[in-house]
Amino acid sequence: MKKLLTATTLCLSALCSMASLAAEGDVGVAAAMDDRYCSTCHGVEGIGNIAIEAPRLAGIEAWYLKRQLENFRAGIRGTHGEDTQGIAMRPMAAKLSDESIADIVAWVGDWEYVPAKVTVEGNVNQGRTAFQTCAACHGVNAQGNEALGAPALAGQNDWYLLAQLRNFRADFRGSHREDTYGSQMVTMSKTLRDDQAVINVVSYINTLQ
Amino acid sequence: MTNPVSRREFLNLLGAYGGTSTVLQAGAALGFMPSSQAAEIALQANNGKKVAILGTGISALTTAWELTKAGYDCTVLEASHRPGGRMFTVRSGTVIDEIGNYQRCEWDNDPHLYFNAGAARIPSIHSNVLKYCKELEVELQVFVNESKTAWVQDDAINGGKPVRNTDYSSSMQGFISEMLSKALGDSHLDSSLTESESETLLSMLRSFGDLNEDMLYKGSTRAGYGTGGFLDHGTTKDVIALRDLLKTQLARNVMVTTQEGTGSGPLLMQPVGGMDRIIYAFANRLGNRIKFRSPVTEVMVKDDGVEVAYEQNGVTEVLKADYCFNCIPSHLMSGIPNNFPAEYSEALNYIRRGKAYKAAFQAKERFWEKEGIYGGISWVNAPTQQIWYPPHNIHGKKGVVLAAYNFGGANYTEMSQEDRIEDLLKHGEKVHPNYREMAEKPITVAWHRMNHMLGCAPRWARNRGGWSDKEEQMYETLRQPVNGRHYLIGDQSTQHSAWMESAIQSAHYALADLDQRVRSEPA
């Protein structure tokens, strides 16, 4: 818990200039902002929030989270006009220092993973066949492969996987010239024939633990 | 300049005139002003029940206040550093806790200089809001919602130069009257009316449109005078031709002086000093029953009560209560672990979050008063949409101008603070040439990104045609307390969101249900 608090305080001191709050009326307010912005959108302990379209963070690999935060900060991700969720994330990351990214990654690492609810249902058998291409990088159980820069897919919110695959296919994500891994995904995602194939493959990932 | 309109043109413009009989039928409802009596709350007193109240929107504060008065043991949990939710007033020193766009208001420290970034107007039929203002001694003043001297600006009319509201609306009113009086000669229309009714209607139209003896609109001194009017005879201003009037879509805003569902026309009210005076009137009386910076982390409904986990100072606490009243926005509840039934969660997840945007600045001088504007709204055909002038502190030194109010939010959420400011200045200076020079320290509030809110007024119906059966069903699901213990309140639990009155009534509805339950419990 102590570690968690330190991380929070540090990451937020980077996010906002620490002006003291003026008391409004007679109700006292404390002297500094200590709110945890990450969980406002991503849910308590990063369980993900479908209503905000903010994905699960609990259970995410540290190296992958770090890379994505750095990509958002650099404008490599979240700058395409059609990537609405990415655009929502970018201002948060834009102000992070290397130190606060490290703190956030450590903070998120403390969160307990709770299995995600299944919201996407397609043809699992067809999805299994299609997934063989994905498995080359993401692993046969979609457990991820750091050496190849491919994150785990199993356990992520299925609606998020669906949205990101659609984004890659439409060039909303991964089209930035410095997004090395994203550009690979643009190519790979286009091997899926149509949107139904995308739904099928996500349905198959739902069966992997 | 007047371009007379033929009957054929008129009929084409109207599309169909069979609507008259419909209008007449609707007249049967006349006289039935929607009644909105303030509720009489008489709860069972001193029963020792413990209640957890989640959030400090006005529905939560209403609940906490009424239950506290009746002797319930209330604990109110608020995630933010401030109470009020979308009843949020910005003034000197206020922190605008927008995620990724932290702002601190540095306007002059003057009680007149404030900006109601959320709720801003109280209609006179919103009896329950008014009831609490009276009970809690919140001083009110008149809010001027419409000024005929304010501007209408659209690049499509008058070469982009602003037109006075009165020039626009007088001409539009004149033409509407002229066209309708012509149509009255039509046998189809006549057959729906008696001779006496026709005469009454014609007489009203002559007055409504300020028509001449030939029932034609040739200008009106209601728009002010072209020349003279005081020491000399007044002359009318030039009429704006109908076709020019129709070049802007703003007619739908300019011609409507009554907010939807408010019944009370241009007369609206505001608390002296800011809308959050109501919030602090509640909060000060509730004192330390409210725990700030205490985000809820879990809501578990049990057989005999509700357990609410929350964090305070980094420590997780569990509040055990007999009942729970929850005004946390539905889209945030999706990210908070809970054990709600599946259909309840489905309904919660269905409600979409509104995306409203407002901006304001402190004006160096009250420049609008030099243009004869005292309160009211200028309508602009730009995403900023509206400019509001403060109706209070007339002839004072400075004032706060609301520089944008886009109820749909446009794409302001995605814009940087610098771009938002440039946008409001760019559109505003088309209305007031010295706008940019007058604007000090602009503040923007994109509700979609406000911490602990992430949205504005909830949106239920997904089709313009109204609520579907499924939506009605989900709404009823959410109005029923989970296990008789957990009540969803707030304007999300009403069919007319965005108004304080709705939120208060949602609290009253839930309180009535609670009262019935506790009274029926075995002693």
Which numeric CATH code is attached to A1-17+36-113?
A: 1.10.760.10
Of B284, B293, B331, the CB nearest to A34: B293
Q: Distance between CA B305 and CA B318 in Å, rounded? A: 13
Residue of A nearest to B330 (CA): A51
**Does residue B33 belong to any structural domain of this protein?**
no
Is A185 within 8 Å of A118 (Cβ atoms)?
no
**Which chain A residues contact residue B276 at CB under 8 A?**
24-25
* Burial track A170-190 (b if 16+ CB lie within 10 A, e otherwise): bebbbbbeebebbbbbbebbe
Question: Does the beta carbon of A83 lie under 8 angstroms from any beta carbon of chain B?
Answer: no
Q: Does residue B434 lie in a domain region?
A: yes
Residue B273 has pLDDT above 70, yes or no: yes
Q: Measured between alpha carbons, how far is B139 from B142 in angstroms, rounded to an integer? A: 11
Which class for B134: exposed (0-12), middle (13-18), buried (19 or more C-beta within 10 A)? exposed
- Please tell me whether residues B373 and B269 are part of one structural domain: yes
Instruction: State the CATH number of the domain containing residue B469.
Output: 3.50.50.60
Q: Are residues B409 and B269 in the same domain?
A: yes
8 Å CB contact between B239 and B217 = yes
Which of B449, B474, B508 represents a domain boundary (last residue)? B449
At the second CATH level, the architecture of A115-209 is: Orthogonal Bundle (1.10)
Query: What are the pLDDT digits (tens) for B193-226?
Result: 888 888 898 999 999 999 999 999 999 998 889 9
Nearest Cβ partner for B100 among A21, A42, A91: A91
CA-CA-CA-CA torsion for B46, B51, B57, B59, nearest 10 degrees?
Answer: -60
CB contact under 8 Å between A40 and B414, yes or no, is no
The torsion region of residue A121 among left (phi > 0), alpha (psi -120 to 50) and beta comes to beta
Are A22 and A35 within 8 A, CB to CB?
Answer: no
Rounded to the nearest integer, the mean pLDDT of chain B is 91
Please give the residue of chain B at the shortest CA–CA distance from A51.
B331
**Distance between CA atoms of B296 and B328, rounded to whole angstroms?**
9
pLDDT tens digit sequence for B391-413? 999 999 999 999 999 998 889 99
**What is the structure's pLDDT at B245?**
93
User: Is residue B136 over pLDDT 60?
Assistant: yes
Element (H, E) at B372: none
Same domain, B419 and B467: no
**Minimum mean pLDDT range among B62-66, B96-100, B257-261, B514-518:** B257-261
How many angstroms separate the CA of residue B355 from the nearest CA in chain A?
12
Which helix H or strand E contains B446, and what residues bound it? strand B439-446
DSSP string, B302-370: -SS-EEEEEEETTEEEEEEESEEEE-S-HHHHTTS-B---HHHHHHHHHSEEE--EEEEEEESS-TTGG
Q: With an 8 Å Cβ cutoff, are B81 and A22 in contact? A: no
Query: Quick one: pLDDT band at residue B264, thresholds 50, 70, 90?
Result: low
Which one is predicted more confidently, A8 or B91? Answer: B91
- Partners of B316 in the β-ladder: B311
Contact (CB<8Å) B99/A92: yes
B361 and B440 within one domain: yes
Predicted confidence (pLDDT) per residue in B151-200, tens digit = 999 999 999 999 999 999 999 999 999 999 888 876 556 567 888 888 89
Q: Note whether residue B222 is domain-resident.
A: yes
Q: What's residue B186's pLDDT?
A: 67
User: Of the candidates A27, A35, A114, which has its C-beta nearest B280's C-beta?
Assistant: A27
Residue A162 near chain B (CB below 8 Å): no
Q: At what angle do helices A124-138 and A180-189 cross, to 10 degrees?
A: 150
> Does the beta carbon of B94 lie under 8 angstroms from any beta carbon of chain A?
yes
Would an 8 Å CB–CB cutoff place B289 in contact with chain A?
A: no
What's the whole-number mean pLDDT along residues B91-108?
A: 95
Q: Where are the beta strands (DSSP E) in B115-176?
A: 115-116, 122-123, 140-144, 151-153, 163-164
pLDDT in tens, chain A (209 residues): 333 333 343 334 333 332 333 334 333 333 334 446 899 999 999 999 999 999 999 999 999 999 999 999 999 999 999 999 999 999 888 888 999 999 999 999 999 888 888 999 999 999 999 999 999 999 999 999 999 999 999 999 999 999 999 999 999 999 999 999 999 999 999 999 999 999 999 999 999 97
Query: Do residue B315 and residue A1 have CB atoms under 8 angstroms apart?
Result: yes
Q: Do residues B270 and B325 both lie within one domain?
A: no
- Is the sign of the CA dihedral B488, B349, B97, B107 positive or negative? negative
For A191, residues 6+ apart whose C-beta sits below 8 A from its C-beta are A133
**Nearest CB to A17 within list B102, B314, B451:** B102
Closest CA relative to residue A163, chosen from A61, A75, A82? A82
State the complex-level ipTM: 0.81
B439 plus B361 within the same structural domain: yes
Q: What is the DSSP letter of B287?
A: G
What's the gap in Å between the CA of A137 and the closest CA on chain B?
31
CB contact under 8 A, A21 and B335: no
Which residue intervals of chain A bear CATH 1.10.760.10? Answer: 1-17+36-113, 115-209
Residue of B nearest to A93 (CA): B100
| B349 with A51: Cβ contact below 8 A | yes
Q: Which of A22, A29, A49 sits opposite B334 (nearest CB)?
A: A49
- A27·B335 Cβ contact <8 A: no
Q: B229-238 pLDDT, tens per residue?
A: 889 998 999 8
CATH of residue B175's domain is 1.20.1440.240
A-B Cβ pairs (cutoff 8 Å, strict): 121
With CA atoms as reference, the chain B residue closest to A46 would be B335
How far from B82 is each of A27, B271, B452, CA to CA, in Å? 8, 18, 10
Q: Rounded to an integer, what distance in angstroms lies between the CA atom of residue A17 and that of residue A22?
A: 14
Tell me how many domains chain B contains.
Answer: 3
Q: Collect all residues with Cβ–Cβ distance below 8 Å to B523 and sequence separation of at least 6.
A: none
Domain end point (choices B425, B449, B473): B449
Q: Contact at 8 Å (CB) between B61 and B414?
A: no
On whether both B374 and B333 belong to a single domain, the answer is no
pLDDT at residue B521 in the model: 87
Choose the mutation target among A27, A85, A114, A157 for the interface with B, i.e. most B CBs under 10 Å: A27
Question: Does the structure show a pLDDT above 70 at B31?
Answer: no
Does any domain span residue B139?
yes
Calculate the alpha carbon distances from A65 to A15, A55, A72, B419 in Å. 18, 12, 11, 29
The confidence score (pLDDT) of residue B425 equals: 98
With an 8 Å Cβ cutoff, are B454 and A41 in contact?
yes
SS (H, E, C) B105-131: CCCCCCCCCCEECCCCCEECCCHHHHH
CA distance A73 to chain B (A): 12
Question: What average pLDDT does the segment B32-53 reach?
Answer: 81
pLDDT of residue B444 exceeding 90: yes
- Which among B415, B449, B483 is the end of a domain? B449
Contact B293 A87 (CB under 8 A): no
Structure tokens belonging to residue B465: 């045609």
Q: Does residue B25 belong to any structural domain of this protein?
A: no
The answer to whether position B207 is within a domain reads yes
User: Is residue B355 within 8 Å of residue B518, measured between CB atoms?
Assistant: no
**Smallest Cβ distance to B454: which of A4, A52, A94?**
A52
Substitution target in B77, B92, B94, B95 with the highest count of A β-carbons within 10 Å is: B95
Contact (CB, 8 A) for B89 and B82: no
B270 and B370 assigned to the same domain: yes
Here the tokens at position B362 are 């402190």
Instruction: Determine the structural domain holding residue B301 and report its residue range.
Output: 50-84+277-351+461-518
Between β-strands B323-326 and B50-54, what pairing exists: parallel, antiparallel or unpaired?
parallel
Contacts of A114 in chain B (CB under 8 A): 337
pLDDT of the residue at A66: 97
**A contacts of B279 (beta carbons < 8 Å):** 25
CA B159 to CA B282: how far, in whole Å? 50
Band of residue B140 on the pLDDT scale cut at 50, 70, 90: very high
User: Residue B398 in contact with residue B365, Cβ under 8 Å?
Assistant: yes
Residue B21 has pLDDT above 80, yes or no: no
Neighbour tally for B445: CB within 10 Å: 26
Q: Is B44 helix (H, G, I), strand (E, B) or coil?
A: coil
Taking the Cβ of residue B244 and every Cβ of chain A, the question of whether any pair is shorter than 8 Å is answered with no
Question: What is the structure's pLDDT at A32?
Answer: 35
Q: How far is C-alpha B30 from the chain's CA centre? A: 25
What's the confidence (pLDDT) of residue B75? 98
> Tokens 């907010």, residue?
B259
Residue B330 lies in a domain: yes
How far is the C-alpha of A154 from the C-alpha of A162, rounded, in Å?
Answer: 13
Of B82, B102, B335, the CB nearest to A16: B102
Q: What is the pLDDT of residue B410?
A: 84
* Residue of chain B nearest A83, judged by CA positions: B414
* B415 shares a domain with B389: yes
- Separation of alpha carbons A142 and A130, rounded Å: 13
Position B421 in a domain: yes
Taking CA–CA distances from A48, the nearest residue in chain B reads B335
Q: Does A40 touch chain B (CB under 8 A)?
A: yes
Of B506, B480, B476, whose CA–CA distance to B491 is shortest? B506
